[in-house]
Amino acid sequence: MTGIDRKRIEAAVAEILAAIGEDLSRPGLASTPSRVADAYEEFFSGLGEDPAALLGEGVPLEGHDAETVLLRDIAFRSICEHHLLPFVGVAHVAYMPNERVVGLGRIPRVVETLASRPQLQERLTEEIADTLQDGLDAKGVLVVLDAQHTCVTARGVRQTDSTTVTVASRGELADPVAKAGLLALIGRGDA
């Protein structure tokens, strides 16, 4: 990743701590600016990365048809761009292969890369769907994200049990019947 300026992050964190009235020389805070810079480097590691490149070439189907590929419960974490607070959840991703399939480990990498940016869950859902639709030339894509936002659970309205669900569909999986069938599979937790 390019663009992380650790010294500026450390200075900004020190300023925030001073602004809330903390003593920066207190032993518990001595390394906090550096630790936050470490965390931000990890949280935002997806900036500047091309998620479509993670899909690779794939494997030709060679005369076989794969109706739908569904990966459930892909854990992810991201940082909400409105409050710079984390949101964590699971992604369920389905695609209908056209002429090739992709290694199953590549889809979680796409999710992780796109989530490792300042994000909105709604946009993240759409970006995952677009990356898979375009990168795989898929007949259809369905992405469902179910996440808990600390800007909702830990501050403001403090709804500790609430989650947010977003859905994006493309191609043949935008059809209401096809989408409903996959949503049922996701919700049941069994095939």
Per annotation, catalytic residue among 83, 126, 148, 172: 83
Predicted TM-score (pTM) of the model is 0.91
What is the chain written as a DSSP string? -----HHHHHHHHHHHHHHTT--TTSGGGTTHHHHHHHHHHHHTTTTT--GGGGG-S-EE-TT-----EEEEEEEEEEEETTTTEEEEEEEEEEEE-SSEE--TTHHHHHHHHHHSSEE-HHHHHHHHHHHHHHHHT-SEEEEEEEEEEHHHHTSTT--TT--EEEEEEEEGGGSHHHHHHHHHHHHHS--
Query: What's the rounded Cα separation, in Å, for the pair 109 and 128?
Result: 11
Judge whether 138 and 178 are in contact, CB under 8 Å. Answer: no
pLDDT of residue 189: 56
**Would residue 81 show up in a list of annotated catalytic residues for this protein?**
yes
Token look-up 């309205």 returns: 157
Per annotation, catalytic residue among 22, 148, 151, 172: 151
pLDDT of residue 99: 85
**Per-residue confidence band for 2, with pLDDT thresholds at 50, 70 and 90:** low
More confident residue, 65 or 75: 75
Per annotation, catalytic residue among 81, 99, 122, 159: 81
**Would residue 64 show up in a list of annotated catalytic residues for this protein?**
no
User: How many CB atoms sit inside 10 A of residue 77's CB?
Assistant: 14
Say how many Å lie between the first and final Cα of the chain, rounded.
Answer: 38
Which amino acid, 79? I
Specify the pairing of strand 140-149 against strand 164-171: antiparallel
**Would residue 92 show up in a list of annotated catalytic residues for this protein?**
no
pLDDT of residue 143: 98
Half-sphere exposure of 155 (CA within 13 A, CB side): 9
Per annotation, catalytic residue among 10, 80, 92, 133: 80
pLDDT of residue 190: 55
What pLDDT, in 10s, does the model give residues 19-51?
999 999 999 999 999 999 999 999 999 999 999
pLDDT of residue 41: 94
**Would residue 127 show up in a list of annotated catalytic residues for this protein?**
no
What pLDDT, in 10s, does the model give residues 107-133?
999 999 999 999 999 999 999 999 999
The two tokens of residue 15 are 């300023």
pLDDT of residue 90: 98
**Per-residue confidence band for 191, with pLDDT thresholds at 50, 70 and 90:** low
**Per-residue confidence band for 97, with pLDDT thresholds at 50, 70 and 90:** very high
What pLDDT, in 10s, does the model give residues 122-179?
999 999 999 999 999 999 999 999 999 998 888 888 888 889 999 999 999 999 999 9
